[in-house]
Amino acid sequence: MFNRVFATLAIGLLPVLAACVPGEALPSTCGEPAVTITATLSGEHLNPTNLDACRDQHVTLKVASELSGDFHLHGYDDQVPETEISKGETLTLEFDAVRSGQFPIELHPADGSDEFEIGTFTVHEP
């Protein structure tokens, strides 16, 4: 009896859970025309590592950095040219999220060593 009630409840909840799969949920700010994202670059990663916006939003991205180099948003070069970032400073970039998809964020270190991925920028389809 109890098991049967539980099974019915569990099946009834499945569609709700399926709609909440991480990565498929839209950011709560998706309906806004503009969004401001703040992140910190320390160690080898951005915090938070995954940055989210929705297509057609005007994005203001502020990155406080403890590293020096070139900040590079792959696949968004037409909107965000590779930009120098300096240790101890906050880089502010403003651009339009014209394309949906996932775009790697890289740092090209100032000392000329190999670039590395510091995070991912996801532009959701609203």
**Residue (54 or 118) nearer to Cu ion, CB:** 118
Task: Classify residue 15 by its DSSP letter.
Answer: H
Name the minimum Å distance from CB 104 to Cu ion. 8
- Return all residues near 26 (Cβ < 8 A) that are at least 6 apart: 54, 124, 126
Question: Residues 70, 84: contact at Cβ < 8 Å?
Answer: yes
Ramachandran sector of residue 70 (left: φ over 0; alpha: ψ -120 to 50; beta: rest): beta
Stretch that binds Cu ion, among 15-23, 30-38, 46-54, 102-110 (CB under 5 A): 102-110
Does 106 contact Cu ion by CB under 5 A? yes
**Residue (96 or 115) nearer to Cu ion, CB:** 115
Map tokens 């009630």 to a residue: 5
Does 118 contact Cu ion by CB under 5 A? no
The residue number with the shortest CB distance to Cu ion is 72
Does 72 contact Cu ion by CB under 5 A? yes
Question: Residues 106, 115: contact at Cβ < 8 Å?
Answer: yes
Name the minimum Å distance from CB 74 to Cu ion. 6
Does 52 contact Cu ion by CB under 5 A? no
**Interface contacts to Cu ion, rule CB under 5 A:** 72, 106, 115
